[in-house]
Structure 1
Amino acid sequence: MSLTLADRLFIALQHLIPQRWLSERMYRLARVRWRPLKRFIIRHFARIYRIDMSLALEPDLDAYPHFNAFFTRALKPDARPLDPDPAAILCPVDGAISQIGVIEAGRLIQAKGRDYSVESLLALAPGEPHPFEGGRFATIYLSPRDYHRIHMPLDGRLDQMVHVPGQLFSVNAVTAAGVPDLFARNERLVCRFETEAGPMALILVGAIFVGGIETVWAGEVTPPHSGLEPKRWDYEVDEQCVRLERGEEMGRFNLGSTVILLLPPGQAEWESGLAPGDGVRLGQRLGIWRETGAAGQGH
């Protein structure tokens, strides 16, 4: 996309503002329980973004103890039916496709004319191997009005989680077009699984005002927005290991951000016709996986 002067000023401002300080203030504001304030914030947000509360498990806005509880609200069990085909790769979130395609020469598309490396996204050491060369990727942007829980595209066993400190730029289309290596610069949580389609990574990318990223197995991982080096957790294969079924919740955001899904080569094909800008919903088919002798090892 061609950046206007206003777009360039918006990006420049993000370089100047105290991203972490503002995000930490938003984190606190989102958890204020004083009834007049939290009621004002929730009701105005629901009106501005036209939130359809008929889909929520709790449709009463006043029932939420604070804004974050409303923002990460659960949906009714039948609100997002899962594609019944067991070979379907499910969309992990509600949102819009930012980019989707093939990982070529270790690079993913960020925006028209911009790409970045899998190595940097996963916070790997230079030359450290990964299983995604020639595989598939999908980048999905969650707007403020979207459902903000992340679910499993496939059955999976958790192998590793890495918290990567970083910047907190906005992740909207303007910033993606104007900030080099955006998703590899922002704070993020890299979750790697073994699935029936082979290795899979779900990367939860933080952004300005995203005051929290959490998982169902570790709870809240960030904030604090601190540290200079990635922190890594490896999970053993034993009776206590973390296994999640396709469609099961794996984590959530506070405020909007982006999820990136990586799959290995030769195992997955995206649905034809999916393109940047397309709206997607949790549980819909993004593609299919092929069962081979290599797939599903460890299950």
Structure 2
Amino acid sequence: MIKDLLTALPQYLLPQHTLSRLMSRLTHSEHAAWKNFFIRRIIRHYGVNMDEALEPNIEAYKSFNHFFTRELKPGIRPFPDAPDAIACPADGAVSQAGAITGGRIFQAKGKSFTAVDLLGGSEERAAPFQDGVFTTIYLSPKDYHRLHMPLTGTLREMAHIPGRLFSVNTATANVVPGLFARNERVAAIFDTEIGPMALVLVGAIFVSSVETVWHGVVTPPTANAVQTWRYGEDAPILRIGEEMGRFNMGSTIIVLFGKDRAAWREGLASGLPVRLGEMIGRMR
């Protein structure tokens, strides 16, 4: 715990958004020597599997961010055929998974936050998820950083919720209260055949931007208040497995379903490595 505190405490003092803007400039630089050096270091340090990338040649990427949000080879992450399957939306590791109890979502070691806070302070937005289920998936630097649909859904609403930019690693999650409901985030609410589904894309320090396929870059810039977009007759419909967004640098996605609408598979728990497209639960 002391080690975790020492990791997290300096983050309260850091100019988090300023550092993230600086990182954005660096990761979008098209200076060949710089971006190739940075890419090679990341591949070597984290063990990135470039055999899965559609473009394995690092010199073909125009910037580090272009590499970081690289496409995978077609078919490398198959989605389940079962009609009741809920698919994993990302490569990564499960941070937590379970029930939303009393409106609260478990974070780590006795810490939790409310669904209302996570979804921007709206009781109306959070109501469908009362007593439902959630899973939180952390994407590390080695992972594929595009996010895909766990189920087919029609987009109803998107909210950009301003906040801090703490790291979202395990050490920080263990000690920063309400971490995922404090960080800047984008919440997308979809209507599915089992009711509302929320996909919450949580920013973090050095995450230079969050974007969606229907809107483009949502942040930066950040804002002083929650911004919302509602979608009507022309609302995008995204099929299971289709790309819905991406992190320009890595972070966390949280998936929410309503009461008695979904059940996670046995063994879906903290620390479990998961891959995009694998079945993580079933519809009810």
* TM-score category (smaller protein): over 0.9
Asked if the contact 2:39–2:64 (Cα under 8 Å) also holds between the matched residues in 1, the reply is yes
SS of the counterpart of 2:143? coil
Query: What letter is aligned with 1:166?
Result: G
Matching residue of 1:293: none
1:280 aligns with 2:274: yes
1:112 aligns with 2:109: yes
Matching residue of 1:295: none
Asked if the contact 2:115–2:126 (Cα under 8 Å) also holds between the matched residues in 1, the reply is no
Matching residue of 1:294: none
SS of the counterpart of 1:274? coil
After superposition, residues 83-102 of structure 1 pair within 5 angstroms as 83-102=80-99
Cα distance, 1:128 vs structure 2: 6.8
Change (3 A) 1:129 1:77: closer
Give the Cα separation in 1 of the matches to 2:190 and 2:215: 15
Cα distance, 1:7 vs structure 2: 2.2
Give the Cα separation in 2 of the matches to 1:52 and 1:18: 33
Query: What letter is aligned with 2:256?
Result: L
Give the Cα separation in 1 of the matches to 2:126 and 2:223: 25
1:249 aligns with 2:243: yes
Work out which of the residue numbers 227, 230, 237 in structure 2 matches 1:234.
230
**Moved runs in structure 1, 4+ residues, more than 2 A?**
124-129
Give the Cα separation in 1 of the matches to 2:237 and 2:196: 14
1:163 aligns with 2:137: no
TM-score by length of 1: 0.93
Give the Cα separation in 2 of the matches to 1:129 and 1:194: 14
Give the Cα separation in 2 of the matches to 1:257 and 1:141: 6
Give the Cα separation in 2 of the matches to 1:31 and 1:179: 30
Cα distance, 1:88 vs structure 2: 0.3
Matching residue of 1:137: 134
Ranges in structure 1 where 5+ consecutive residues have no aligned partner: 291-299
Query: What letter is aligned with 2:235?
Result: C
Change (3 A) 1:126 1:137: closer
Give the Cα separation in 2 of the matches to 1:149 and 1:274: 21
Matching residue of 2:8: 11
Asked if the contact 2:148–2:243 (Cα under 8 Å) also holds between the matched residues in 1, the reply is yes
Ranges in structure 2 where 5+ consecutive residues have no aligned partner: none
Matching residue of 2:177: 180
Matching residue of 1:80: 77
TM-score by length of 2: 0.98
Matching residue of 1:56: 53
SS of the counterpart of 1:130? helix
Change (3 A) 1:267 1:126: closer
Aligned residues: 284
Give the Cα separation in 2 of the matches to 1:177 and 1:217: 34
Cα distance, 1:125 vs structure 2: 3.8
Matching residue of 2:121: 124
Give the Cα separation in 1 of the matches to 2:9 and 2:48: 31
Deviations 1:34-57 (A, max 9, x none): 111111111111111111111001
Query: What letter is aligned with 1:158?
Result: L
